[in-house]
Amino acid sequence: MSASISIGQSLLRRRVLLHLNPTSLSFTQQVRTLRRRTLASSMSYDIQLAAAKKAASVAARLCQKVQKALLQSDVQSKSDKSPVTVADYGSQALISFILQKEFPSMPFSLVAEEDSGDLRKEESRETLHRIMELVNETLASDGTIDTSPLSEEDVLVAIDKGISEGGSQGQHWVLDPIDGTKGFLRGDQYAIALALLDEGKVVLGVLACPNLPLASIANNDQTISEDKVGCLFSAQVGAGTYMQSLDGSMPTRVQVSSTENPEEASFFESYEAAHSSHDLSSSIARKLGVKAPPVRIDSQAKYGALSRGDGAIYLRFPHKGYREKIWDHAAGYIVVAEAGGVAADAAGNSLDFSKGRYLDLDTGIVVTNQKLMPALLKAVQESINERASSL
């Protein structure tokens, strides 16, 4: 038997000891019963949350290593896509591998951004080799995951587990291995975003944000300050949202801003104007009476920052024809919801993650606290109508 035990096994062992009935079932039988009860009751996802935090933190280390090498390299241009490719695939392979290892006897379904199609091509041989090396180096330096080194084929297989279609039945992990690839390449914000769907609902989410300062970024711009960086947000349905440093501080509970006054509310939006209409959000902010300039950062780090009250509003209005994917919002959605916020589409409908790999949306996503939402939706509709009549 292996010397190390997984988070799932150790938490279950603790629970079994707490609930131990000395007269009846064996340890293994009790583990099975508890596991079934845990899943069926939908009351607690502690075990899955612990595994998700571990997987995202390990993947963050791989991404940090690649980004550091990218920024220090004199040779590699920042517009070169290869570092992000290596980090994207490496992050997805690691998270897929770790989750399967944590829950070896459970069905595994993963809805994730990457697949191995390009990596299997002849011209990708070196890239694949580099990914395998990075994955193995990261696993070895972590030291808590009991495994022999992965082969290139193991890496490809782990990546390809991400092809699930998700849906409204059963459990599905949802992963963006690097959200904010453009920010990653610039040396700015990005996130590793992992969530779990159970019967179509997001029940837990984790956002690892390696470049997000632990201190508030309210009214800050995109540049990374000298403050300590590296945040891990985690949320479980009905249990709140917590933040800790990626290098392992105690988690502290966070709450969204409680302001009811739009004049005090600053808002987040994409750094990339191609991802979200900055004109529309500025019109909405004007109507609401928001005074502060927009805070533009990449990735679901926006949801994390909002969940701890750095700003009060997040506006996202993709240009016509773009379809949002569930991995771009699932983790962020629950991180904000469990911190007391609410995310909706532009018509005020709640986000539905049960329809497969895409979100079915009415123009755009708005996120804020419960009190500000009605005024925000009014300003959104007015601005959208004005834009339509001016076309």
The radius of gyration of the chain from alpha carbons, rounded to an integer in Å, stands at 21
Which regions of 94-217 does DSSP assign to beta strands (E)? Answer: 110-112, 171-179, 191-198, 201-213
Q: Tell me: is residue 326 an annotated ligand-binding position.
A: no
Q: Which is nearer to ligand A3P, 46 or 176 (CB)?
A: 176
Inter-CA distances, 160 with 89, 153, 194, Å: 10, 10, 16
Tokens at residue 43, please? 């009351």
Residue length of the chain: 391
Stretch that binds ligand A3P, among 124-132, 178-186, 202-210, 284-292 (CB under 6 A): 178-186
Q: Name the residue with the smallest CB distance to Mg ion.
A: 179
Cα–Cα dist 346/200, whole Å: 21
Regarding 180 and contact with ligand A3P (CB under 6 A), the answer is: yes
- Among 160, 179, 338, 345, the residue binding ligand A3P under the rule CB under 6 A is 179
Residues 247-276 binding ligand A3P (CB under 6 A) are 270, 272, 274-275
Residues 153-192 binding Mg ion (CB under 5 A) are 176, 179
> Minimum distance between the CB of residue 330 and Mg ion, rounded to whole angstroms?
11
Cα–Cα dist 14/345, whole Å: 41
Residues 314-333 binding ligand A3P (CB under 6 A) are 318, 322, 325, 328
Which regions of 113-189 does DSSP assign to beta strands (E)? Answer: 171-179
Cα–Cα dist 281/294, whole Å: 9
Name the burial class of residue 12, with classes exposed (0-12), middle (13-18) and buried (19+) by CB atoms within 10 angstroms of its CB.
buried
Cα–Cα dist 177/77, whole Å: 22
Q: From the list Mg ion, ligand A3P, none, which binds 358 (C-beta under 5 to 8 Å, kind-based)? A: none
> Minimum distance between the CB of residue 178 and ligand A3P, rounded to whole angstroms?
6
Q: Which is nearer to ligand A3P, 66 or 145 (CB)?
A: 66
Question: Shortest CA distance to 216 belongs to which of 284, 275, 266?
Answer: 266
Q: Tell me: is residue 227 an annotated ligand-binding position.
A: no
Residues 20-79 binding ligand A3P (CB under 6 A) are none
Annotated binding-site members: 113, 176, 178-179, 328
Q: Which residues are part of the catalytic machinery?
A: 88, 181
Binding site for ligand A3P (CB under 6 A): 113, 176, 178-181, 270, 272, 274-275, 298-299, 318, 322, 325, 328
Residues of this chain that interact with Mg ion (CB under 5 A) are: 176, 179, 328
Annotated binding residues for Mg(2+), written as ranges, equal: 113, 176, 178-179, 328
